[in-house]
Amino acid sequence: AQAPTTACRLTADGREEQAPIDAICVGDVLRVRPGENFAVDGQVIRGEGSVNEASITGESTPAHKGVGNAVYAGAVNVDGSFIMQVTHVGEDRVMGKLVRLLDEARLHRAPIERLADRVAGYFVPAVFVLALTAFGYWSWQVSFEQGLLNSLAVVLIACPCALGIATPLTIWIGLGRAAQRGILIRDSLTLEKLSRVRQLFFDKTGTLTTGHSELSEIVLADGENLHPWQLLQLVASLEQASEHPLARSICAAAQQQGLTLLPIAQF
């Protein structure tokens, strides 16, 4: 989700004001409404609800937050109304630490990069020796101009620039593409070791699955005379104004069955 540029700050007299993120300080009190992103790290001092922290933890299931719980920048308020006190801003936020971790990973040199540098260290002198040999031979056999052209040809063709640039460039692109897909790799050494991995174990919801709930079955209690679709219509009607992922799944199932949702008086 796109990071917010402003936040709703509560003043000492209880008024609300839209303040730029750069103006938010530790200790400020903010209001975060349903559907909004948390702009800074903080602690809930009033309210409760579900928060989507997938951008921080990778867990697709929203976490319940209440008074005293920590909330982090980058998370999304699903269905609660929170009053929070700011605890971290700027690079001190958890999201800022993740970004710094990614930057440090790009600067870390993998063993394959150091190997390429060592090879280039021997390769460069060898190329110049070959170039001087070509220059001397063709200058003696043909002409000075021919010797100069042939020596330059050797340098240009055998220049190890690609050897020194291709390896780190490939690693940087790999780290960047992984980050775009929600995968944060600690350093380039870890990325290099992945080529030798033969078995993977996953324990994070949404890693192999979609991370989205779907209605699979409707079970009626014994003695109920309702048709399953009638029950689905009633439940979906009650949940139609909710932003909770489970409520959305129920409403989506009702929509797939072509059910008309009933109006609700209060929510």
> What is the C-alpha to C-alpha distance for residues 229 and 255, in angstroms, rounded to an integer?
11
> What is the C-alpha to C-alpha distance for residues 126 and 160, in angstroms, rounded to an integer?
11
65 sits in which H/E element: strand 63-65
Q: Which of 41, 117, 203, 222 is catalytic?
A: 203
> What is the C-alpha to C-alpha distance for residues 64 and 152, in angstroms, rounded to an integer?
68
Enumerate the β-bridge partners of residue 64: 50
Q: Quick one: 175 exposed, middle or buried, by C-beta within 10 A (0-12, 13-18, 19+)?
A: buried
> What is the C-alpha to C-alpha distance for residues 243 and 119, in angstroms, rounded to an integer?
58
203 is catalytic: yes
Catalytic residues: 203
